[in-house]
Amino acid sequence: MLYTIGVVGDSATLDDTAGLSQTVKAQLRLRELIVGGELKPGQRIAELALVERLGVSRTPVRAALVRLREEGLLEALPGGGFVVKDFGEDDIHDAIELRGTLEGLAARLAAERGASPVLVAEARECLDGIDDLLAAPELDEAAFGAYVEWNGRWHDLLAEMARSDLILRQLERVKALPFASPNGFVHVGAGHPRSRDALLVAQAQHRAVIDAIVRREGARAEALMREHARLAQQNLRDALQSHRTLQRIPGASLIRRRAGR
């Protein structure tokens, strides 16, 4: 899975840039340890152990811990320090709903403000790429991987169309959670006989959203985008029915399942 990290401002010195790169390194590696399940929910993070494990100094490790707390993967302890956070099913549903709300707002603003023709053309190129993938009667793992790339790019372009730095930043934050990203549950369908059908529905919604934006139909674009995000809600419900399927989800070890499942 691809993640985005803030870039260095124009006023940053070379020393600042070097320091940030170490923080980014620590942040990415620590996120991998959490999402990959090597650090378990409820486990206290030992700062000194991370310094040795990640091969960076204490300052970047501390900065990475703070950033991952802001992303929601860590929780600050009252007496200091951090623990890995877990997420209930309601938390995940809320995160997906929040993403849908923000992407719906982005789609409406794009329609009302007028989306850049260049961004619209790029978005349609992504959809053409997805069409080529879905032309096959069955999808293998490689096809799902390619879909993830095209789909992620399409969602990024949609956010850019709104021409709002505020919305862009908030979407980056909510999408940083593995199961709240547009691709969080795509691999749930890999190997399922109806997986291609689900992606065809998503693709039809992709096309409809872009058409609504181009036609300056803001309310329709917003409603379509919010409905589109709810496909992930269904994928979550499907995943929770099967332990094997659930393990396909990045960050599955962080999900706190309800008793009886």
pLDDT tens digits along 109-138: 999 999 999 999 999 999 999 999 999 988
| 60-80 pLDDT tens trace | 999 999 989 988 889 999 988
| 3-54 pLDDT tens trace | 332 222 233 333 444 445 888 889 889 988 988 888 999 999 988 889 989 8
Final residue before a domain boundary, out of 85, 111, 145? 85
Provide the domain limits for residue 252: 88-256
Q: Is 247 inside a domain boundary?
A: yes
Domain count, the chain: 2
Q: Which residue has the higher pLDDT, 58 or 194?
A: 58
Are 133 and 189 part of one and the same domain? yes
Mean pLDDT of 151-168: 96
Q: 237 in helix, strand or coil?
A: helix
Are 105 and 119 part of one and the same domain? yes
What strands, in cross-sheet order, belong to the sheet with 44-45? 44-45, 82-84, 74-76
Are 128 and 181 part of one and the same domain? yes
Q: Rounded distance, CA 213 to CA 230, Å?
A: 20
Are 124 and 244 part of one and the same domain? yes
pLDDT of residue 20: 56
Examine the pLDDT at 253 and tell me if it is beyond 70.
Answer: yes
Q: Is 9 inside a domain boundary?
A: no
Final residue before a domain boundary, out of 85, 117, 142? 85
The answer to whether 109 and 162 are in contact (CB under 8 A) is yes
Are 132 and 240 part of one and the same domain? yes
Report which listed range, 76-80, 95-99, 219-223, 253-257, is most confident: 219-223
Res. 105 pLDDT band, cuts 50 70 90 = very high
- Average pLDDT score, the chain: 84
Are 93 and 57 part of one and the same domain? no
Q: Rounded distance, CA 253 to CA 23, Å?
A: 25
Are 128 and 54 part of one and the same domain? no
Are 78 and 176 part of one and the same domain? no
Examine the pLDDT at 242 and tell me if it is beyond 70.
Answer: no
pLDDT of residue 258: 65
Res. 174 pLDDT band, cuts 50 70 90 = confident
Q: Is 127 inside a domain boundary?
A: yes
Q: Rounded distance, CA 140 to CA 190, Å?
A: 7
Q: Who contacts 22 (Cβ-Cβ below 8 Å, separation ≥6)? A: 56, 57, 59, 60
Residues 59-62: contacts with CB under 8 Å, at least 24 apart: 59/19, 59/22, 60/19, 60/22, 60/23, 60/25, 60/26, 61/26, 61/30
Are 79 and 152 part of one and the same domain? no
Mean pLDDT of 160-170: 96
Q: Pairing between strand 44-45 and 82-84? A: antiparallel
CATH number, domain of 148, equals 1.20.120.530
Q: Is 217 inside a domain boundary?
A: yes
Are 102 and 216 part of one and the same domain? yes
CATH number, domain of 33, equals 1.10.10.10
pLDDT of residue 161: 98
Token pair for residue 167? 């919305």
Are 100 and 55 part of one and the same domain? no
